[in-house]
Amino acid sequence: MDPEYYMTQQLTVKSDVYSFGVVMLELITAINPIKKGKYIVREVKENLDKQKDLYNLREVFDPTIGLTNELQGLEKFVDIALRCVEDTRNQRPRMSEVVKEIENVMELAGFNPNAESASTSESFEESNDRGHPY
C-alpha cells in the first residue's frame, strides 16, 4: 500500500482495504506491521503453506488466541486478510465483500451475527456507492 500511496499520493478505497488487511494480520499475530525490518505481510506470506495445519502459521499466530484444532475460521480469516493485502489493488476485494466474508466466518465458527451486524455490509456498500470521495 505504501509502494501505491507513495506513487499516487492518493488514498483510495483499495488502499483502505489493504490497511484493513494489515490490521487483520496484526490481530491474529500480535506482531507490529513493521518490526526490526520485518514486514508482517511478507512474514505471513513466506511462512504460509495451505497444505499444512493452520496454514503452517502456528509459529506466527498470537498464542493467546488458543491455537487448537477446534479453532474454526482462523484459516478463512487469514484468507480474507491475504486477499486484502494483494499487491495489485484490482485483486483486492471491496470492503463490503470483506465484511460479508467476516460475517460468514463468524457463522461458521458458531457465532450468530445479530440482525444489526448482518445488515452492516449492505449499509456500508450503499453508503460507499453514493458519492464516496474515493
Compute CA 111 distance to the chain's CA centroid, rounded to the nearest angstrom. 18
Determine phi and psi for 73, rounding to 5 degrees. Answer: 95, -10
pTM for the model:
0.75
77, 105 in Cβ contact below 8 A? yes
Q: List the pLDDT tens digit at each of the 134 positions of the chain.
A: 456 555 566 667 777 899 899 999 999 999 898 888 889 999 999 999 999 988 999 888 888 887 665 567 888 999 999 999 998 889 999 999 999 999 998 888 777 766 455 445 555 555 555 554 44
Give the burial class of 1: count Cβ atoms within 10 A of its Cβ; 0-12 exposed, 13-18 middle, 19 or more buried. buried
Query: What residues are paired with 130 via a beta bridge?
Result: none
Q: Give domain limits for the chain.
A: 2-129
Given the candidates 3.40.50.720, 3.30.420.240, 3.40.50.20, 1.10.510.10, the CATH classification of the domain at 2-129 is 1.10.510.10
